[in-house]
Amino acid sequence: MIIQNRVIYLAIAILLLALGLAVARFRPTPAGQDGHALATTFTGLNAREPITLESYHGQVVVLDIWATWCPPCVHEIPEMIAFHNEMVSTQQPVQFIGISIDTDTNAVRQFVQKQKVTYPVGFGDANSMKPLGGIPRAVPTKLIIDKDGAIVDKIIGSTDAKTLKQKIAPYLP
């Protein structure tokens, strides 16, 4: 019985240590060369129109890093479109932006047109993603950037509109 209790206490201690390390690993921090994610610029779908995060200063930005070859990414696009449309219709200071890490730009253009994506979509590569910590190891990944340009949250994997609303709520007026 004593040995069993010690094993349970040891398991709890290891879990708490792991949780503490996970929390300490992600702290809201600014990114970018000048200390802000807003310093980041991506190539837009139309190469002549870049997507500059600085142009969204004062708004909460949800940056969705995705790819057309990623089934969970493709699956959640309709809900992300609905989320974006709701933010626009309710005049929330939130901008949803999709950044594809695809290398086939034509595939992305066709996909965006077919899905009738209503939010800005651009292309991310190792260089453009560097100020945000590089290309994520998993997609989809969402970065929540507050109105001052600090990355305040990160969602790895699929999500839904309800979760996004909960994540951005603390940063809205």
Using one digit for the tens of pLDDT, what is the confidence trace for 10-19?
A: 556 555 544 4
For 87-123, the pLDDT digits (tens) are 999 999 999 999 999 999 999 999 999 999 999 999 9
Residue 45 maps to a domain = yes
Evaluate if residue 163 carries a pLDDT over 80.
Answer: yes
What's residue 152's pLDDT?
Answer: 94
Q: What is the DSSP string of 6-73?
A: HHHHHHHHHHHHHHHHHHHH---EE-STTSSGGG-EEEESSTTS-EEGGGGTTSEEEEEEE-TT-HHH
Range of the domain at 97: 29-171
Residue 10 maps to a domain = no
* 16-20, 128-132, 145-149: least confident range: 16-20
Quote the DSSP letter at residue 134. Answer: S
What is the four-CA torsion angle of 136, 137, 140, 146, rounded to 10 degrees?
-30
Evaluate if residue 37 carries a pLDDT over 90.
Answer: no
pTM: 0.79
What's residue 36's pLDDT?
Answer: 64
What's residue 29's pLDDT?
Answer: 45
Residue 116 maps to a domain = yes
The candidate with the shortest Cα–Cα distance to 168, out of 148, 149, 143, is: 143
Residue 5 maps to a domain = no
What's residue 74's pLDDT?
Answer: 97
b vs e for 115-127, b when ≥16 Cβ sit within 10 Å of the residue's Cβ? eebebbbbbbeee
How many CA atoms does the CB half-sphere of 91 hold within 13 Å?
0
- How many percent of the chain have pLDDT more than 70? 80
Interval 50-68 mean pLDDT: 95
CATH number for the domain that contains residue 124:
3.40.30.10
Total structural domains within the chain? 1
Residue 23 maps to a domain = no
Angstrom distances, CA of residue 172 to CA of 20, 62, 95, 125: 27, 12, 12, 30
What's residue 59's pLDDT?
Answer: 96
The mean pLDDT of the chain is: 86
Which has more pLDDT, 14 or 166? Answer: 166
Residue 20 maps to a domain = no
Residue 2 maps to a domain = no
Residue 141 maps to a domain = yes
